Amino acid sequence: METKNIKSATSLSTTTTTTTTNTSDHFIIQQKKALRSKIRKDLKAMSPIQRSQEDAAIQDLVLNSSWFKSSKGLCAYISCESLREVDTSRILSEILSSDYHGQIKKKLYVPRVEDKNSHMRMLNILSIEDLIANSMNILEPAPTDVNGNQREDVMHASEPVDLLLLPGLAFDRFGQRLGRGGGYYDVFLKKYQELATQRRWKQPLLVALSYSPQIMEGAIPVTPNDVTVDALVSPAGVIPISPAALEIM
């Protein structure tokens, strides 16, 4: 009888914990949904002039930084104007032309979405002409080059990347990032961080680019699946957050 009561109590405790967890997760999901809606409205309210000025300021900060100039391998997103992402066109151009400007030669990997199950790869490109528009009219690399050769996947590269430039919808000063809900970057980042650990590589610096309205003063709601960033770059300046970022920025 006593054993039966213990089992019943254990079962009740497990059920209560599961219910509490599910309720908490649901609350966080609703918080994220509300914040995404707010930020989208704030971004839509930005004038073209303000966006252009902030794009220029953010890209200048990145391009003039020592941590960008010293990087050899990078992953960077291809900015999409319809999504109101911080422009990366000058940064990408600088990376792709680094070999011709007497700078440290840089290797660039950019995202390609493979399916609707949060599967995204980072593939090497040599030129902006390597990009094609997908079904959502977002530029991404074709899986093969003009010669039919498979593009190098960063997950199969023999050398590590130093820097990842990331998009997002909202960020806080603790390094927490709110994406668009697909989980593509969080899944990719966790896999790459695991790879770097396995190969005993130094972890890459995760830097998010952010317009002024995207930086929250309070904490963003997150789950254990959300990956934090090391630093933010906004028009007001670089915001180092992690110990790694504070050391080099």
Binding site, by residue number, is 32-36, 78, 85, 177-185
For residue 101, give both structure tokens: 């400007």
Nearest of 147, 145, 17, 152 to residue 73 by alpha carbon? 152
Alpha helices in 105-225 (DSSP H): 184-198
For residue 44, give both structure tokens: 């839509």
Distance of alpha carbon 157 from alpha carbon 217, whole angstroms:
38
Known binding residues for substrate are: 78, 85
Known binding residues for ATP are: 32-36, 177-185
**Cα separation values, 209 from 107, 116, 233, Å:** 20, 24, 5
For residue 25, give both structure tokens: 């997760």
Long-range contacts of 23-30 (CB under 8 A, 24+ apart): 25/223, 28/221, 28/222, 28/223
Residues forming beta bridges with residue 125, ordered by sequence position: 108
